[in-house]
Amino acid sequence: MNTSLAAVAAAMTISASALAPGTVRAADGDPASTTATSRSQAAEDFRWGAASAAYQVEGAPSADGKGRSVWDHYLDDRSLAGPGVSGAVAINFYDRAQYLQDIALMKRLGINSYRFSISWPRILPDGQGPVNPAAIAHYRQFIADLKAADIQPMLTLYHWDMPLALAEAGGWENRDSIAWFKRYAEVVFANFSDQVDLYVLVNEPLVEFGMKHLAEQRMAGEPGVFAIVPDGPQLTRALTTFNHVMLASAAAKASFDAQGRQGRLGVALPLFPVLNAEGATPDDQASAALADGVMNRWFLDAIYNGRYPEDVVAAARDKGADTTSWAADARTIGEAGFDYLGINFYSALYIRRPAQAPSGYAVEMFTPEGVYTALNGPVRPDQFKALFDRIRTDYGNPTIFVTENGAGFPNEDTLIDGAVVDTRRCRYILDHVSAMQAAIRDGSDVQGYHVWSSHDNLEWLFGYGSRFGMIHVDFDTQVRTPKRSAEVYGRLIRGEAVTAADCE
């Protein structure tokens, strides 16, 4: 719990002069932070939101002519999340009667931005073939319903639900995926750009790869290890995948611009500050530096400098990767001119060199004893601030949207007497908002913040046991109950000063 207390203490220093509305006030009533919020234009326009993804919430796997996705295959055909764990219902969000209630609930909380994804296999059931008008109509209605509630859409085109036919053709490891995604993106732009002006092209290539690799291990009959940072044997495949995903995003952006469409496009990257534990050896430090290269610099250097980091390219070459096209590919990604950077932030990661690793790139994630962690790793709002600072100083201060930030904690979400008091999640959110506000005061151009997630949902291969929502979902009855975090986040958005004590 030590780190947690330090984090809350950090929140106590936040004053009302933060650019963004909503103030985290000191629990002890620090007079500097008790005044109402500043209301600059930036504050007025700030998007306070929540996020979700199609496969995790929608259910309805064959409604309106949907094609199969790789996730239908993983869970329903191969039971990779355990027997009977399926996305067939999830939180029933494809159902209009259901989602209208959810929109009303979010509006009541004060959320003004909703990041959601549309499903590629709904829009193009075979991945490449004919467009499915019923799916287009569904999402157009959904967006209209959101906007009628004064919630602005942030539309993600791809949050991991690859059409099965394309996954079977190699997915992102096949360079043709660049053309596949470009075509899909063009269909999306043609059908939604009168309604939507903020798009996330792809979500988290890094974590998608880790999840896919875990699925492969489980299909091979092993329990498998979920490695966010690819280990040595996976390095070449991972970088090849990332290269194609980013080239696909660049191609979609180029097409959007060439057609003169209006809107802002970016990608949502899971950025993980890398830490060495006390007593790290020079080898551990070298592994940590390379892990930073693979998880963070690989993407940021390409987007903002048009080149891939030399140390990572050399490590891949050392593993036998064919890097011939990479320099030109990175230039193409740099020339795309994405309009903003989407940051998904959960934790910092401790990295060391595994014992007895063969020479060359070798990394291992671990958690030193006594470190306060959430399901997605060590809780470090200070590292969230450091990340903003790094992007501002090293990458030219791009516009940022926080596209995901949130946490799950074991045994935190029990419904007792009609209420869920999720103190740790609630504090996590306040501490991270504080860190973001501090970065804004220091000059970072952050224009929105989305909690992952609005609702409890299907956590991929980890099933329904890992809850991340501010709204509790009873997965048997579909009954929703806003948790304490939702209530406090709503008060923050509405401009009230809130404190960690409100989370108790």
Interacting residues with ligand BGC (CB under 6 A): 53, 56, 203-204, 207, 270, 344, 376, 404, 452, 459, 468
Q: Cβ of residue 350: shortest distance to ligand BGC, in angstroms?
A: 18
Contact 470, 489 (CB under 8 A): yes
Reported for 138-144, long-range contacts at CB under 8 A and 24+ positions apart, including other chains, are: 138/64, 138/94, 139/192, 140/191, 140/192, 140/195, 141/96, 142/96, 142/99, 142/116, 143/192, 143/195, 143/196, 144/195
Query: Which residues are known to be catalytic?
Result: 204, 404
- Tokens describing residue 289: 């530096």
CB-nearer residue toward ligand BGC: 376 or 383? 376
Give the length of the chain.
Answer: 504
- Separation of alpha carbons 89 and 57, rounded Å: 8
Q: Cβ of residue 487: shortest distance to ligand BGC, in angstroms?
A: 21
- Tokens describing residue 291: 């892990």
Q: Cβ of residue 340: shortest distance to ligand BGC, in angstroms?
A: 17
CB-nearer residue toward ligand BGC: 171 or 334? 171
SS3 assignment, position 402: strand
CB-nearer residue toward ligand BGC: 268 or 440? 268
CB-nearer residue toward ligand BGC: 173 or 459? 459
CB-nearer residue toward ligand BGC: 159 or 427? 159
SS3 assignment, position 148: helix
Angstrom CA distances, 11 to 203, 255, 332, 425, stand at: 29, 43, 41, 14
Contact 255, 186 (CB under 8 A): yes
Angstrom CA distances, 305 to 5, 234, 396, stand at: 38, 25, 10
Q: Cβ of residue 58: shortest distance to ligand BGC, in angstroms?
A: 13
Q: Cβ of residue 453: shortest distance to ligand BGC, in angstroms?
A: 7
- Tokens describing residue 67: 């094609």
Q: Cβ of residue 384: shortest distance to ligand BGC, in angstroms?
A: 15
Comparing every residue's Cβ against ligand BGC, the nearest one is 207
- DSSP β-bridge partners for residue 200: 156, 266
CB-nearer residue toward ligand BGC: 313 or 349? 349
